[in-house]
Amino acid sequence: MTSTTTRSRNHRRPSRPGSKPDVAGNRDTVAAGARRRERSSGDLIDRIGVHVDRAAADPTSRWDPDYVARTLRIMDRFNRYFASEVVGWEKVPTDRPVLFVGNHSGGQLSPDTCALLSKWYETRGFEHPLALLAFDLLLAIPGMGDLVRKIGGVPAGHDTAERALESGASVVVYPGGDHEVFRPFWHRNHIDFDGRKGFVKLAIRTGVPIVPVVGHGGHETMVVVARGEGLARRLRLDRVRVKILPFALGGPLGVMPGFLPAVPIPAKITLQVLDPIDLSHIDPAAADDPEILQACYDDVTERMQSALTAMAKDRPFPVLSRLAELVERG
């Protein structure tokens, strides 16, 4: 038999009609639940962050020419979809490694990269590998990271890039990274490296020429509406080396996370190779001089912006241009 004392300790008397609810208790309960969810979310982000750190610390490329040859057949279909073309390829030096510096467009698909890779191996063969400085999170995705390394992907970092260049490989770098590849659609014809000058420092230290490659049309294959930097900060995505959480038009709701796969809009893609920029006359010891870095950075980005502006003027509507080609062919 249960005692009155036990009942009073284990059971609360129901509140009378009209009595005030325990608002403070409810608030405490909700706050405690929010704190638990925040800790749980933080723990998950931290665990993913550790995995990303490990992937970024592994400099191995695992470049596999047989796998690259098979992948190029898929890339060729991709290039045909966009009618991609590379102009000015004859300007690329053939007697030494080079540092390709490109503007990054098109979100997670980055069709410009497919066009550049195809052109490289089409003209150079597989005796000269091409290293791609890849997004750290991409290298950490199970399965995907290994595939990226097989086509030449390595973590984006000075030491990794220097080792690749010293081994005789040429290197592709997109200084703007995720900041530029997910820039809003209305900035599609802007070069936006976000002030990142690491590529200049790399070129000065190694003495390799910078070969600017300007892509046009790639950022019309998806319509990015926001980078989502504020949301990324709230979710602490910097722990996984991500500073954005972009959104693009598409999906059943009209707007979808930009990282999700989507059918790209057919747009005419053109890559323009500019004249090489030789910085070998600069003393490697000056690679940390902020004034020299800024001057070289401005020189490269101004040349690239001038070229992109001219390309946009020449073909202001890459999607319409591509659709017109399809209509004529069909």
Instruction: Give the three-class secondary structure for 203.
Output: helix
- pLDDT at 205 > cutoff 80: yes
- pLDDT at 280 > cutoff 80: yes
Residue 18 lies in a domain: no
Look at residue 33 in the predicted model and tell me its pLDDT.
Answer: 47
- pLDDT at 283 > cutoff 90: yes
Q: How many domains does the chain have?
A: 1
Q: Which ranges in 135-182 belong to alpha helices (H)?
A: 136-140, 144-150, 158-166, 177-181
User: Is the distance from CB of 265 to CB of 81 less than 8 angstroms?
Assistant: no
- What value, to the nearest 5°, has the Cα angle with vertex 218 and ends 327 and 159? 150
105 exposure class (CB count in 10 Å sphere: 0-12, 13-18, 19+) = buried
Look at residue 28 in the predicted model and tell me its pLDDT.
Answer: 53
Look at residue 287 in the predicted model and tell me its pLDDT.
Answer: 96
Residue 24 lies in a domain: no
Q: How many Å apart are CA 30 and CA 33, to the nearest integer?
A: 5
Average pLDDT over residues 272-293: 97
Domain boundaries, position 319: 34-329
- Per-residue confidence at 29, pLDDT binned at 50, 70, 90? low
Residue 59 lies in a domain: yes
Average pLDDT over residues 287-303: 98
User: Is the distance from CB of 15 to CB of 21 less than 8 angstroms?
Assistant: yes
Residue 23 lies in a domain: no
Residue 16 lies in a domain: no
Identify the weakest region by mean pLDDT among 27-31, 115-119, 136-140, 276-280. Answer: 27-31
Q: How many Å apart are CA 73 and CA 130, to the nearest integer?
A: 17
Residues paired with 100 in a beta bridge: 172, 211
Give the model confidence (pLDDT) of 49-99 as tens digits.
888 888 888 887 899 999 999 999 999 999 999 999 999 999 999 999 999
Give the model confidence (pLDDT) of 151-166 as tens digits.
999 999 999 999 999 9
Q: How many Å apart are CA 260 and CA 250, to the nearest integer?
A: 10
Residues paired with 86 in a beta bridge: 271
Q: What is the pTM of this model?
A: 0.85
Residue 308 lies in a domain: yes
- What value, to the nearest 5°, has the Cα angle with vertex 269 and ends 268 and 272? 135
Average pLDDT over residues 295-321: 98
SS3 per-residue string spanning 227-293? CCHHHHHHCCHHHHCCCCCCEEECCCCCEEECCCCCCCCCCCCEEEECCCECCCCCCHHHHHCHHHH
Residue 6 lies in a domain: no
> Who contacts 190 (Cβ-Cβ below 8 Å, separation ≥6)?
183, 305, 308
Residue 179 lies in a domain: yes
- pLDDT at 17 > cutoff 90: no
Question: Phi/psi at 222 (nearest 5 deg)?
Answer: -150, 155
Adjacency order of strands within the sheet including 247-249: 224-226, 247-249, 255-257
